[in-house]
Amino acid sequence: MSAGIMANKVLQFFLVKIIIGVIVVGGLVAFSEWSLRLVLVSSPITDINKYAIISVTDIVLALAGYVLLFRFYEKRKISELSIAGFGKNATAGFLTGALLQSVFILVIYIAASYTITAIYPASSLLPSFTTAINAGFIAEILLRGVLFRITEEALGTVIALLIQIILFTVMHINVPGGNLLSLATTVIQAGLLLPSAYILTRSLWFPIFLHFAWDFIEPGIFGAINPGNNVGGGLFTSSIQGHWLITGGQMGPQNSLQAFIFCSLLTVLFLWMAKKRNKFIPPSWSSRN
Asked which of 97-101, 128-132, 221-225 is least confident by mean pLDDT, the reply is: 221-225
Q: What is the pLDDT of residue 49?
A: 86
pLDDT category at 250 given cuts 50, 70, 90 is confident
pLDDT on residue 232: 61
The alpha helices in the chain, defined as continuous H runs, are 3-12, 14-40, 47-73, 86-111, 126-140, 149-155, 157-172, 180-188, 194-201, 205-216, 244-247, 257-276
Which 8-state DSSP code applies to residue 262? H
Provide the whole-model pTM. 0.94
Above 70 in pLDDT, residue 1?
no
Q: What is the pLDDT of residue 230?
A: 62
Query: Given this model, what pLDDT does residue 45 score?
Result: 86
- As a whole number of angstroms, the distance between CA 65 and CA 75 comes to 15
Radius of gyration of the chain (CA): 20
Q: What is the pLDDT of residue 231?
A: 59
Q: What is the pLDDT of residues 144-200, one digit of tens each?
A: 999 999 999 999 999 999 999 999 999 989 888 889 999 999 999 999 999 999 999
Residue 9, pLDDT > 60, answer: yes
pLDDT tens per residue across span 226-248: 776 565 668 888 899 999 999 99
Task: State the DSSP H helix or E strand holding residue 236, giving kind and residue range, or none if neither.
Answer: strand 236-241
So what's the pLDDT on residue 228? 62
| Cβ neighbours of 236 (radius 10 Å) | 17
